[in-house]
Amino acid sequence: MKKAVICIVAIASLLVAFKGSLAPERNRLTSLSNPDTFPVPRNIPGLLFYIQRDPNTNTICYELNTDDQGKLQKNSPVHVFWIRYPEGGKRKDLNFIQRKFAYGINVKSVGNDSYELRSVAYSKLPMVLRKDANNQYHVYTDIDRKNCQLSRIFIRIDGGTFWSPNVVYIELKGVDPATGKTIVQRIKPS
């Protein structure tokens, strides 16, 4: 019973926060129809990639999770948090529901300081956290049939409900490490 009450309170607080995050930018959405007009997170050491989506510019960031000496936390190598741009760029951790059902990731060590990452909301997209030739960590995934360093995911939402949004497409953006060229691909979820 106690767990059910905690869950209900968490859902209610999430819905209040979600509804509140819509109001300040509802009128700006028409000018933000192009994902390239959204703000880009800056000055985040260890930023791996970020997710943006309709209906506002709040951004979910995925950064390396390191200790005080800068060593990777191998049991939890990625830390996920919000940048709440409508609230002055305030940084905020995800709540339980956001971590477990929307923006969290499942991590599995695959050896050689590499980790398989899967989104809790869309596990069809395999991602790998691994070091590059310069010993720096990046997240890699296939974008338009090329293995790229992922930089951004944009989710176009058109209506639906909180628990079942109508996702029109998912746009992946990254860099082909072989050429340095930016690669973009849109996926229509099935």
DSSP 1-42: -HHHHHHHHHHHHHHHHHHHHHGGGGGGGGGG-SGGGS----
Cα–Cα distance measured from residue 187 to residue 169, given in angstroms and rounded to the nearest whole number: 5
Q: What pLDDT does 54 receive?
A: 86
pLDDT tens, position by position, 108-152? 999 999 999 999 988 999 999 999 999 999 999 999 999 999 999
Q: What pLDDT does 55 receive?
A: 82
Q: What is the mean pLDDT of residues 162-182?
A: 93
Where does the chain show beta strands of DSSP type E? 47-53, 56-64, 78-84, 90-93, 105-111, 114-119, 127-131, 137-143, 146-160, 165-175, 182-187
Q: What pLDDT does 8 receive?
A: 34
Cα–Cα distance measured from residue 120 to residue 30, given in angstroms and rounded to the nearest whole number: 29
Q: What pLDDT does 34 receive?
A: 85
